[in-house]
Structures are given as structure tokens and as C-alpha cells.
Amino acid sequence: MNRELRRQIATQIREFLEKQPPDSTLHAALDSDLRAVVSKLNVLPLLLDMGGCYALNQDGDVISFAWDNEMDMQIELDPRIRNIALFQGSRKYPELEVLIPARPTAAPDCHVCKGTGGSPADLCPAPRQSYLLRQGAPYLII
């Protein structure tokens, strides 16, 4: 990972920690917990779910941790999981798109939208588990 991208990730982490919490009491409590973990681990959250979080550290590693034990984090080595987390993160932080690998030549198109991205794009499953959007064309990642 180049120095400029490291700087951008550090800036995004800092901005995440400095932003105003949401108005909702429920979201504010969740946001407060996430801020504490981000501050402690110095990572950029990419994808959250009910079990935990996928985040990016400043070395470019995708890490995961459970909400009830964030200190038991692990580096994600599965390319599919890494790609999903990076894709989801790049939707919020476009500068992370450079970390998404190029589409393999043998990758099949998304079976729903046939690689078009759908119309509207929200109908295409590309943002979900097994699909990755690269250069506007969803394709299956294995």
C-alpha cells in the first residue's frame, strides 16, 4: 500500500472519530461503541453486521472482530471476504477502490443483471455476499 493511501485511511479514521453522532438514541449508543473500538484498534470500519465488523487497518489488511470481543480480531485471508469488505467500504470511501482486485477474465457475470449493474442498480445483487462490482459490471466471486 502506498504512502498516500495510508494517509487517506488515517484521515478517514480521524474524520470518523470526529464526526457528530446521530440523533437517534439507539444509533448513538451503537455509534459510541463503534467509535471506542475504532479508536482502540485504529481501524476504518468497512462493513458492519449483527455479529461484528470488517475493518481496514493502515497496513491495508482487512480485519474482523466480534462485537462482544473486539480484541480477538483476525486478519481476513479469504479473498472473497476481503473483496466483499473492500467493495462495501469503497461505497463509502471511494479512494479504497484501488484495493479491489481487477476482475478475473474467467469471472462469470451476475446472473440477475447479466453484468449490467441492473436498472435500478439496487435490484442487482452485486452489493451482496457473492458479487463484486468492478468498473460498473457485477460479477460472481468465488
**Is residue 137 within 8 Å of 115, Cβ to Cβ?**
yes
Q: Sketch the domain layout of the chain as residue ranges.
A: 3-98, 103-142
Task: Report the pLDDT value the prediction gives residue 34, as an integer from 0 to 100.
Answer: 86
**Is residue 83 within 8 Å of 101, Cβ to Cβ?**
yes
Task: Report the pLDDT value the prediction gives residue 108, as an integer from 0 to 100.
Answer: 73
**Is residue 95 within 8 Å of 5, Cβ to Cβ?**
yes
Task: Report the pLDDT value the prediction gives residue 127, as an integer from 0 to 100.
Answer: 47
Q: Give me the average pLDDT of each 10-residue run along the chain (142 residues).
A: 92 89 56 85 90 92 90 89 86 88 73 59 47 50 50
Task: Report the pLDDT value the prediction gives residue 139, as an integer from 0 to 100.
Answer: 54
Residue with cell 465488523: 53
Q: How many CA atoms lie within 13 A of 40 on its CB side?
A: 12
Q: What is residue 38's three-state secondary structure?
A: helix
Distances (CA, A) of 21 to 80, 82, 105, 117: 32, 28, 43, 33
CA 22 from centre of chain: 20
DSSP β-bridge partners for residue 74: 64
Threshold 0.85, pTM exceeds: no
Q: One-letter amino acid identity for 80?
A: R
